[in-house]
Structure 1
């Protein structure tokens, strides 16, 4: 039996429809001979009325859906306002700024670092050249090392600030120094070249002639410090009170805050602390024999040192390379004698008079009068309180460095003699100079550097009578730098030679004669004393004192033109472009 498919039912009342269908089916099944199911009339069903609830309020509450357990938020800790707000004026040096920030981190209840405007609260401000002094910052005028000029005036510096250049060349600054001096001198010329601080040295050398203003503690040997109005911060007797580039960082603001800052300040008080400064003077060849000794006998034993003594004595460690041994039986000197040298014991007074602290014994002539006289010589030096290196009573002592510690700076001296003669070399049981076992020498330099020493290294190299270093000489000296030498000095140099920089170290291939009788060439009369300036365990500068030997014995200060000629010559031996402003 076919169930009618046309019935459409409302959604509500489906149960009534089902009952009706069942009744129809039941009736049909009762017929014996069904012929055709008549079409059922359409059944219309209505939705049952919604029952009315009398006097009952409809609920408006919504059931809560369970949620995951939430961690209660901690109660915010309200920090009390600091006692003082710490503010910095424009141009404050970066190291001072970093120290101020560190103070606010370490003592937040006292100081809060801020760069914004303080509406309520007490202010303590670091300012330039005003307020209660907190620190002192020293700046210098510097140029590439290959610069002949030694002095500059404040007027010339100000002209460069206002125009971007002066007789020294173009002014190059890093941003920090530009900001500092802009706050002091006002806006500078837009022609000034601004570079990153770590690119300053390269920019100066590439842009020669050029110059800069730089914080004292950021100096490097590649730069030459120029005296400003006759004063140099490198000098031992430097007077900062009258120096034009000395900046005072002061504190202004709340009086109690100033007192708290002064008592809690752990940052730097200066970028030029005299207690971190060491000066090392290294000289060239000394041989107190022949015509030099003869002039000493005539003019006075200490007479040759009168001019150079102040230079050597201004150093904290003064070096002499004496190639001749003292001998009790050394005869009265012959001014035209042969090159077999000895020195009379009384001549030690000259070496003492100039303030010698360490004596180098790498010389070729130390055993001219026998190794027993070198032993006697070492006794004299040690009795006089001088240290030795580069030679000794035996090979073991000859290999030992001379070690110094001064103002927290550790300085080591090592040296060797690669050329002999063989009888000048120390042996296991005999005195002499140190032969160059280069591998052992390199290893010693590395070890000393690892121990924190600045290693002053010397070579009694082959002698050349010209300003240029040979390619092999350059390679051999640079190998010592690669081993860790802070500076390499050519002790062999009767003739003055030029300079070089390599891997951040300083090389002087030959310093010339200090006390010797070679008067036949200008280059053997010209002489250097190199003063290495060490600050806080770092070599920051090298000063050059130049002299000219007179009367076979006695160095004198060069004239301005003589010095300019020598500097130009030795600089051009390595660097073709030299700043000649004078």
Structure 2
């Protein structure tokens, strides 16, 4: 105290300094939310039979999913009793008994993919109604075009997170229209507009598009994916996550924001190759400033279509790459 007074500092200034320090130490840290994204979840065929027998294909990843504040999956099938299969090589329809299981394991599903319309618009609309009744939030589709492009808003720890879903893989006949149900199709201008609107109108702190895109069985993203991913981040997305190729693809960081082009399959049977039976669970730690941490938990899918974690999480370096 004498030291401060000898140097002409007033008691008032010292008190203010000490109180300010105590106040700063007492201030809460910035809120963060952990989000886990998993890839294609197909609960028809053999996985559906396993669910009927009482098995939970999410069980091996239960701890990883439980530790997250928000859990998101791509639902790669229609869940309904109605409809007839459309004319395409593979059609997937799961029994409604899978919905309570989904609700226990994930907080939201994207329906923006090329299998949501496998049994026609009636079955798709039935699925949306059943998910509402079950209390399972969804995005990337709706009863009409406007609803399909609305973000799903999730609030955790004071943060407002907007999830958007888009399909880029044909048939485009599954797209929602002004007067009929369907999925959100990926048109560049509309996607950018949706991202900006999520912030300006819905006041989202974090905006993440979940894409269904790319070429099947290709380990690297194509030029179209890369161009669109950058466009979305330039429009204000905090990260871009993708599915569809049935294999995992490369990742990159653009403007400090992660792009994970394909998470691969997650719950899916019928594949023999190791690449097709590799599953990624992406964990993002987000704050008001965007993504603070990102990591990938690798899984291996067994013959039943069930993923099992292998090893520990692998971090994604969010620092800008050095110039060539």
Q: State the alpha-carbon separation in 2 of the partners of residues 384 and 83 from structure 1.
A: 69
- Give the aligned partner of residue 346 of structure 1: 97
1:329, CA displacement in angstroms? 5.1
- Give the aligned partner of residue 212 of structure 2: 460
- Give the aligned partner of residue 108 of structure 1: 12
- Give the aligned partner of residue 484 of structure 1: 236
Q: State the alpha-carbon separation in 1 of the partners of residues 204 and 309 from structure 2.
A: 36
Q: State the alpha-carbon separation in 2 of the partners of residues 305 and 360 from structure 1.
A: 17
- Give the aligned partner of residue 290 of structure 1: 45
State which of 273, 281, 287 in structure 2 corresponds to 1:535: 287
Find out whether 1:361 has 2:111 as its counterpart: yes
CA 443–536 in structure 1, closer or farther in 2 if over 3 Å, else same: closer
- Give the aligned partner of residue 302 of structure 2: 550
1:83, CA displacement in angstroms? 9.9
- Give the aligned partner of residue 506 of structure 1: 258
- Give the aligned partner of residue 123 of structure 2: 373
- Give the aligned partner of residue 133 of structure 2: 383
Q: How does 1:67-146 map to 2 (within 5 A)?
A: 108-111=12-15
Q: State the alpha-carbon separation in 1 of the partners of residues 250 and 258 from structure 2.
A: 11
- Give the aligned partner of residue 164 of structure 2: 414
Q: State the alpha-carbon separation in 2 of the partners of residues 369 and 534 from structure 1.
A: 37
**Over residues 425-454 of structure 1, what are the superposed CA-to-partner deviations in whole Å (9 max), with x where a residue is unaligned?**
111222111112321210221232443431
- TM-score, length basis structure 1: 0.49
* 8 A contact 1:301–1:350 mirrored in 2: no
* 8 A contact 1:359–1:387 mirrored in 2: yes
Q: State the alpha-carbon separation in 2 of the partners of residues 390 and 459 from structure 1.
A: 9
Structure 2 unaligned segments of length 5 or more: list them: none
- Give the aligned partner of residue 142 of structure 2: 392
* 8 A contact 2:77–2:94 mirrored in 1: yes
CA 270–307 in structure 1, closer or farther in 2 if over 3 Å, else same: farther
- Give the aligned partner of residue 210 of structure 1: none
Give the alignment's Cα RMSD to 1 decimal: 3.1
* 8 A contact 2:82–2:122 mirrored in 1: no
- TM-score, length basis structure 2: 0.85
* 8 A contact 2:199–2:207 mirrored in 1: yes
Find out whether 1:266 has 2:23 as its counterpart: yes
- Give the aligned partner of residue 426 of structure 1: 176
**Over residues 282-330 of structure 1, what are the superposed CA-to-partner deviations in whole Å (9 max), with x where a residue is unaligned?**
11011111232233334x242x111112212211111111021112258
**Over residues 165-203 of structure 1, what are the superposed CA-to-partner deviations in whole Å (9 max), with x where a residue is unaligned?**
xxxxxxxxxxxxxxxxxxxxxxxxxxxxxxxxxxxxxxx
Secondary structure, counterpart of 2:226 in structure 1: helix
* 8 A contact 1:498–1:510 mirrored in 2: yes
Q: State the alpha-carbon separation in 1 of the partners of residues 38 and 245 from structure 2.
A: 10
* 8 A contact 1:410–1:537 mirrored in 2: no
- Give the aligned partner of residue 32 of structure 2: 277
Q: How does 1:94-243 map to 2 (within 5 A)?
A: 108-111=12-15
- Give the aligned partner of residue 313 of structure 1: 66
Q: Which has the higher contact order (CA 8 A, sep 6+)?
A: 2
1:109, CA displacement in angstroms? 4.7
1:471, CA displacement in angstroms? 2.7
CA 518–463 in structure 1, closer or farther in 2 if over 3 Å, else same: farther
Q: State the alpha-carbon separation in 2 of the partners of residues 402 and 378 from structure 1.
A: 14
Q: State the alpha-carbon separation in 2 of the partners of residues 488 and 314 from structure 1.
A: 22
1:458, CA displacement in angstroms? 1.8
Range with greater deviation from structure 2 (529-538 or 315-324): 529-538
Question: Is the radius of gyration larger for structure 1 or structure 2?
Answer: 1
CA 388–423 in structure 1, closer or farther in 2 if over 3 Å, else same: same
Q: State the alpha-carbon separation in 1 of the partners of residues 3 and 35 from structure 2.
A: 46
Q: State the alpha-carbon separation in 2 of the partners of residues 413 and 551 from structure 1.
A: 32
